[in-house]
Structure 1
Amino acid sequence: MSTAVDFDDYLKSLGRLTSHVDPTAATPEAERIVEATGRLGGLLDTDITGLAAWVRDNPNDVVVPVLGLAVGLSQEKLKNALRDRFDTSGWHGLARTQPVELVTWLDAEFDLVRMLRTQMERTYTFADILVARAGTRATATRAGASGRRIEDEIEDIARDLGLDYTTRSRFAGRNGRTAPADLIVGDPNSADIVVAAKGFDSTGSKLTDAVREIEEMAEVRLPTQLVLAVIDGIGWKSRQSDLRRIHQLWATRQIDGMYTLVTLDRFRADVAEFARLRRLI
């Protein structure tokens, strides 16, 4: 099975799971946002140079979050995206020290300049307001879809290898105890391979819950069972202590492998090797 890689190397391999949502409208919800957008409308040039100067001159304001809202990023998603790109979620410091780099990245990644110009020149209707309010449901749906992306990928691998498997169930282990798993190869009552699939681009208690599930898998496993985890998404970069707990399970061989979407080829090879040894394929 795979030897545990350094935690920092694993951290660097995490990628974004959710696709960017192109918003049709943004409505201010606070006085500071109203004030900031008013000053934004007063800029002589809504281009990278003008926006960078605006950000630099207002580092402690809500200027950066306003730019995030303009391209459809909530404050949490903005922080996670910043940490992924700049290794920090502190937009105040970035606004002071790297305003050009910050605005250039927002434009390259989220089409900032075009989005601003389009939205600032548009006249909004009641229908636009309703569409904007409905956008929160669309974001929640995409978040759920991103979590299922990893599950779908590992299920495709199991199917392609010709393995008999069950998804999103519980498997029996030591002393009749059970634990949850997102993919179970073989009969859940006598599983051969169990896999946890945990992908998050946002943060929250669900990441800690995911760690507990994997720890539970490690606690109940039988010596004959292969326990693997596929972990991805930039949300983990803001919860590194949780990610370290999973990595430690791998480093101490309490689980047998830990992968991201970019290392699924190694996941496939490890599953195939174990399956051949157990004559599952």
Structure 2
Amino acid sequence: MPSFEEYVASLGALTSHVDPTLENEEGRLIKAAAEGLAALESITRESLAAWVAEQPRGTGVGVLGLVVGLSQEALRNSLRHGLGSPAFPKAARENPVGLVDYMEAEYSLLSLLESQRGRQYDFGDVLVARAGTRALATRAGQAGRQLEDEIEEIAKSLGLPYQTRCRFEGRTASAPCDLALPAGDSAAQIVVAAKSFGSTGSKLTDAVREIEEMALVRKPTQFVFAVIDGIGWKGRINDLRRIYNLWSSGQINGMYTLASLGQFQDDLAEAAAILRMTKD
């Protein structure tokens, strides 16, 4: 049997490097679609809807997503939210006008397309485009911090002491939380989870698990709240329902979105009053 160090030394890459300049079938379809967009005499809702309907396999829908800076998963989540279905071919075939209208209302599609399609791009632009996934990851992190910042500001506005991004002690174990009042560890009396899910599901399992863990270890005297938002959850309804069931069964005390933060503030203030919690 090899030692642990030998095992680690034997680890290798599971994927080989791919030349980014080589085109695959998807790349060729995107390039052809882009050439078609550039050739349109004018950019209008009608001309775009007709163009989308002509593209094979719903390719035009994905290309319009790229125009406004959306990954495929982010675009699918957006279409599910706005049009009721994430399927590119269905949108192109059955509702191209509605698709264009929705993307114009949400992302200013027409002006973005007009400003980009005739522009000359240099090597730096190519590298920036390849770094796009990193930029998306940054925006996803910013979305998560938005929820955390909002709940922190509410705690501040109520004059309550708190600690962010910590663990709290429950009955027989500890669990992670994004906000603990008045502090983390054994001092925690109110704990809050803030979980956003805008486009990627990479951290979804952790989000659900953490909230379930909070509900499991809580003491009877502790309050547990969850602030959850992002249209990506609509694509993982069963996971969202697991958290909702914790709320409906009384295992956590509240579940909120950004739109219902006013109710969260009221419930947090009420919990703090019950616990006689005041700022030092």
Q: TM-score range by the shorter chain?
A: 0.7 to 0.9
Cα RMSD (Å): 1.8
Give TM-score, length-normalised by structure 2.
0.86
Structure 1 SS opposite 2:70 = coil
Report the more deviating stretch, 219-228 or 118-127. Answer: 118-127
1:236-255 counterparts in 2 under 5 A? 236-255=233-252
1:133-152 counterparts in 2 under 5 A? 133-152=130-149
Assess if the C-alpha contact under 8 Å between 1:174 and 1:220 holds in 2: yes
The whole-number CA distance in structure 2 between the counterparts of 1:97 and 1:134 is: 34
1:111 correspondence with 2:108: yes
The whole-number CA distance in structure 2 between the counterparts of 1:278 and 1:107 is: 49
1:76-225 counterparts in 2 under 5 A? 76-175=73-172, 177-187=173-183, 188-225=185-222
* Count of aligned pairs between the two proteins: 254
Give TM-score, length-normalised by structure 1.
0.85
Q: Given the superposition, is the C-alpha separation of residues 231 and 107 from structure 1 closer, same or farther in structure 2, using an over 3 Å criterion?
A: same
Q: Which has the higher contact order (CA 8 A, sep 6+)?
A: 1
The whole-number CA distance in structure 1 between the counterparts of 2:126 and 2:201 is: 28
Q: Which has the larger radius of gyration?
A: 2
Superposed CA offset, 1:164-200 (max 9, x none): 211111100112x100110010242032101100012
Q: CA deviation at 1:30?
A: 0.9
Tell me the equivalent position of 2:46.
49
The whole-number CA distance in structure 1 between the counterparts of 2:82 and 2:189 is: 39
Assess if the C-alpha contact under 8 Å between 1:203 and 1:238 holds in 2: no
Assess if the C-alpha contact under 8 Å between 2:144 and 2:195 holds in 1: yes
The whole-number CA distance in structure 1 between the counterparts of 2:257 and 2:105 is: 25
Q: Given the superposition, is the C-alpha separation of residues 105 and 154 from structure 1 closer, same or farther in structure 2, using an over 3 Å criterion?
A: same
Assess if the C-alpha contact under 8 Å between 1:173 and 1:190 holds in 2: no
The whole-number CA distance in structure 1 between the counterparts of 2:271 and 2:115 is: 54
Tell me the equivalent position of 1:259.
256
Tell me the equivalent position of 1:234.
231
The whole-number CA distance in structure 2 between the counterparts of 1:234 and 1:109 is: 13
Give the gaps of 5 or more residues in structure 2. Answer: 1-22
Assess if the C-alpha contact under 8 Å between 1:169 and 1:183 holds in 2: yes
Q: CA deviation at 1:161?
A: 1.2
Letter in 1 for 2:83: F
**Identical-pair percentage:** 55
Assess if the C-alpha contact under 8 Å between 2:37 and 2:117 holds in 1: no
Q: CA deviation at 1:93?
A: 1.1
